[in-house]
């Protein structure tokens, strides 16, 4: 008779462990969706701000650096290798853009962002 109570405790524990895995999987999906949303929001915001910064190389550099930091954080949460690489790559690109000639920098920002957004969009599915 003592075996029956043990069995009754083991079976619910097995379901609890299996449920934790499912919850963890859902967390990964939510992290991916959040990283995708954040990436498109950050890049869209940067592109929108560039028009007003063509005469301000310092302001443009600060905007690039700020966006690069935020993209790096999103990449760390992404959990999906292709998305992580794309966000990290875009962040690195933003950090290396020379803003001395702000008009040329804005053109490069737009071009590089468009290229990376294609990869990000595919990774986000």
Number of domains making up the chain:
1
> Is 15 contained in some domain?
no
Return mean pLDDT, the chain. 82
The pLDDT, as a whole number, for residue 31 is: 80
Domain extent for 38: 33-124
Residue 30 above 70 pLDDT?
no
What secondary structure letter does DSSP report for 55? T
Q: Residue 14's CB: how many other CB atoms inside 10 A?
A: 9
| Mean pLDDT (whole number) for 14-19 | 43
> Is 114 contained in some domain?
yes
CATH of the domain at 93: 1.20.120
> Is 28 contained in some domain?
no
Percent of the chain with pLDDT over 90: 62
Count CA atoms closer than 13 A to 96's CA, side-chain side. 7
Two structure tokens written together for 30: 């939510």
Spatial CA neighbour of 85 closest among 27, 28, 35: 35
The pLDDT, as a whole number, for residue 16 is: 42
């Amino acid at each position: 008779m003592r075996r029956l109570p043990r069995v009754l405790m083991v079976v619910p524990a097995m379901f609890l462990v299996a449920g934790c895995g499912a919850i963890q999987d859902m967390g990964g999906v939510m992290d991916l969706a959040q990283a995708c949303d954040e990436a498109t929001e950050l890049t869209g915001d940067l592109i929108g701000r560039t028009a007003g910064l063509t005469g301000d190389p310092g302001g443009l550099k600060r905007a690039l650096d700020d966006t690069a930091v935020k993209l790096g954080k999103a990449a760390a949460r992404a959990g999906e290798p292709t998305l992580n690489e794309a966000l990290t790559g875009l962040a690195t690109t933003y950090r290396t853009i020379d803003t001395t000639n702000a008009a040329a920098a804005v053109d490069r920002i737009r071009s590089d962002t468009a290229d990376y957004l294609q990869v990000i969009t595919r990774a986000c599915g």
